[in-house]
Amino acid sequence: MSSSPKMYDGAEILFESLRRENVEHIFGIPGGATIQIYEKLYDINFLKHILTRHEQGATHAADGYARATGKVGVVLVTSGPGATNTVTGIATAYMDSSPIVVFTGQVPTNLIGNDAFQEADIIGITRPITKHSFLVRDVNDLASVVRKAFYIAKSGRPGPVVVDLPKNVISAMAPLHYPEKVEVRGYKPKYEGHINQIKKAAKAIANAKRPLLYVGGGVIMSGATPQLRAFAIENNLPVTMTLQGLGAFPGTSELSLGMLGMHGMYWANQAINHCDVLVALGARFDDRVTGKLETFAPDAFKIHVDIDPSCIDKNVEVDVPIVGDVGQVLDELRKAMPHKPDTTEWWKEIRAWQKECPLTYDMSDGKLRTQFILERLSEKTKGDAVIVSDVGQHQMFIAQYYKFTNPRSLLSSGGLGTMGFSVPAALGASFGVTDRPIISISGDGGFAMNMQEILTARYYKRPVKFIVINNSYLGMVRQWQELFYNERYSFTDLTGANPDFHKVVEAMGVKSFVTSRIDEVDGILDAMLNYNDGPVFAEFRVIKEEMVFPMVPAGASVSDMILDRLDPERLV
């Protein structure tokens, strides 16, 4: 018996596996089904566990961490309610292809299906919102499952993976073999684009009169920012970005047209309408981008580069599909360009659109507006902060007014549109990024949905700048009600429902500011940016009735943009 291998329990195997995956941070909350894991965690030094105040917060935090760093975010929660509380966070990560691994406790295998205490079929519940999931039924499989979970989460088109850990598996003993190689025979992401397709694309771009790059979050995930910049500059190509793509190309560049789509720039949407070659890079033709499909880039020859074959021809049929990693494809595309396109005339058209309808707002009534705060913030941080937005009007104002200069600078729930994302995601990002300011910006509605995580930020002394733009409304819904529902403000007015946010946050032990005055904005932002003792908070009370323009109504053509409050289009 002298040669029998050393045995480890499931919890030890789990942590050794996490160490091999270079996990440095875990976000979670302990519970009955995971108590054995936490018992081992008590002595673990190679990673830091962050105790959040809600499992949704833990999941968004891991997601924020993943988006800010490109590393896999890790969550550890208990069974039943612990697991179900992660659902919104997992769906948020899934829709924006963010790599997270969620470890959920589970009742012992002999009780599964018995309606045991704190039992939930989390694998079943999360099936449509995960890239993959595992129920570990044998401790001997645990190490290889963890290896596969991390590999699947971060490779190809990234996404969330759930690993369900029954309590008896965690306490069972097994030898430890962490697989060096990972092999998942049904999963082979393709990184290299087909060279003939790339040549076809290069030829079309070179001969285009009105080419346009339409850039999505895939470029940032792939780390293809340098390739994109080089390709656009070499060929003098206009670049428009989706919400998730912002930062892939500097918003300050002459070649940047900013965001396109529902609240995109007038000129970006005009360019989409008039381009003759459209190059979609790591973007998925989402309905918030395209509006009415029949009128989206109607005359364009369409090239689509994406790592996920199922994204291609899903919403819009394209002429040249290229499946592969967008960075590698752009490298090849640069080499394959026969000559540069002549875009001189095209740029004249675009410049004319930019002059025709510039992005403006009017503050002559002396009331504070979100746009102004964001312009000041963009200038003060030189477009280089990590902005973590929530969902709604302020999110679109951020996309319009903050001039992102670097990738992984806007963390925002784009696909799912999850209110309550910002506070925990910023908390999570702050553990991964320490050399740039992390600024969480929420509306008053979304802030109240997860503001408990300010407690976590305070406890761990995270230097996050939390901003609430308070218009006492669920503003984006209010905007639709004003524009399309006869000004019937059904359940969107939060006046009287909101607390004094700055007092609530102060009671959490966090330095806080509040103002409704334009002339105090600079001072407060400076104070926040220079604050070095943990989190800091400001509530900006802005005009209630402001709307986000321009706007393409849902399902309309991008040419039917509403430009401002007085635009007759809004009456159509």
Partner 1 sequence: MKHTISILLENRFGAFDRVANLFSGKGFNLHSITIGETEIKDVMRMTIVTSGNDQIIDQVLKQLNRLIDTLKVIDLSEHERTERELALISVNYQKGTLEELKNISDIFRGKIVDINNKSIMIEVTGPPAKINAAVNVLMPYGIKEMARTGTVALKRGEQINALKEDVTE
Q: Please identify, using beta-carbon distances, which residue of 6 and 185 lies nearer to partner 1.
A: 185
User: Measured between alpha carbons, how far is 141 from 134 in angstroms, rounded to an integer?
Assistant: 10
The candidate with the shortest Cα–Cα distance to 85, out of 144, 32, 28, is: 28
Binding residues for partner 1 restricted to 61-100, rule: CB under 8 A: none
- In angstroms, what is the minimal distance from the CB of 141 to partner 1? 11
From the list 24, 118, 203, 547, the catalytic residue is 118
Residue in 254, 317, 342, 379 binding partner 1, rule: CB under 8 A: 317
Burial class of 236 by CB neighbour count within 10 A (0 to 12, 13 to 18, 19+): middle
Residue in 137, 203, 288, 376 binding partner 1, rule: CB under 8 A: 137
The candidate with the shortest Cα–Cα distance to 275, out of 204, 220, 202, is: 204
Q: Please identify, using beta-carbon distances, which residue of 313 and 493 lies nearer to partner 1.
A: 313
The candidate with the shortest Cα–Cα distance to 426, out of 263, 537, 311, is: 537
Counting contacts by CB under 8 A, is residue 472 touching partner 1?
Answer: no
At 263, give phi and psi (nearest 5°): -115, 30
Amino acid making up residue 86: T
User: Measured between alpha carbons, how far is 203 from 340 in angstroms, rounded to an integer?
Assistant: 10
- In angstroms, what is the minimal distance from the CB of 132 to partner 1? 4
Under 8 Å CB-to-CB from 157, ≥6 apart: which residues? 97, 131, 189, 218, 306, 307, 308, 311
| Contact criterion met (CB below 8 Å) for 147 and 179 | yes
Q: Please identify, using beta-carbon distances, which residue of 190 and 461 lies nearer to partner 1.
A: 190
Counting contacts by CB under 8 A, is residue 22 touching partner 1?
Answer: no
Element (H, E) at 128: none
Counting contacts by CB under 8 A, is residue 493 touching partner 1?
Answer: no
Which region, judged by CB under 8 A, interacts with partner 1, from 35-43, 82-90, 180-188, 480-488?
180-188
Under 8 Å CB-to-CB from 480, ≥6 apart: which residues? none
Residue 514 zone, left/alpha/beta (φ > 0; ψ -120 to 50; rest): beta
- In angstroms, what is the minimal distance from the CB of 133 to partner 1? 7
Binding residues for partner 1 restricted to 97-126, rule: CB under 8 A: 123-124
Q: Please identify, using beta-carbon distances, which residue of 188 and 355 lies nearer to partner 1.
A: 188
Counting contacts by CB under 8 A, is residue 183 touching partner 1?
Answer: no
- In angstroms, what is the minimal distance from the CB of 23 to partner 1? 21
From the list 46, 117, 234, 461, the catalytic residue is 117
User: Measured between alpha carbons, how far is 523 from 140 in angstroms, rounded to an integer?
Assistant: 59
Q: Please identify, using beta-carbon distances, which residue of 102 and 427 lies nearer to partner 1.
A: 102
| Contact criterion met (CB below 8 Å) for 276 and 210 | yes
Residue in 6, 42, 115, 186 binding partner 1, rule: CB under 8 A: 186
Element (H, E) at 367: none
From the list 131, 154, 167, 403, the catalytic residue is 167
- In angstroms, what is the minimal distance from the CB of 135 to partner 1? 6
Binding residues for partner 1 restricted to 284-313, rule: CB under 8 A: 308-310, 312-313
Counting contacts by CB under 8 A, is residue 314 touching partner 1?
Answer: yes
- Tell me the per-residue interface mask from 150 to 179 with partner 1, x by CB under 8 A, - otherwise: --x---------------------------
Counting contacts by CB under 8 A, is residue 185 touching partner 1?
Answer: yes
- In angstroms, what is the minimal distance from the CB of 33 to partner 1? 18
Annotation says 55 is catalytic: yes
Annotation says 349 is catalytic: no
Counting contacts by CB under 8 A, is residue 184 touching partner 1?
Answer: yes
User: Measured between alpha carbons, how far is 524 from 186 in angstroms, rounded to an integer?
Assistant: 54
Q: Please identify, using beta-carbon distances, which residue of 128 and 496 lies nearer to partner 1.
A: 128
Q: Please identify, using beta-carbon distances, which residue of 22 and 310 lies nearer to partner 1.
A: 310
Residue in 46, 113, 117, 127 binding partner 1, rule: CB under 8 A: 127
Q: Please identify, using beta-carbon distances, which residue of 183 and 526 lies nearer to partner 1.
A: 183
Q: Total residues at the site for partner 1 (CB under 8 A)? A: 22
Under 8 Å CB-to-CB from 394, ≥6 apart: which residues? 370, 441, 442, 443, 469, 475
| Contact criterion met (CB below 8 Å) for 142 and 17 | yes
Cα 359 to Cα 267, 471, 478, 522, distances in angstroms: 10, 21, 22, 22
The candidate with the shortest Cα–Cα distance to 204, out of 314, 333, 344, is: 333
Annotation says 476 is catalytic: yes
Active site residues: 55, 117-118, 167, 476
What residues line the site for partner 1 (CB under 8 A)?
123-124, 127-128, 131-133, 135, 137, 152, 184-188, 308-310, 312-314, 317
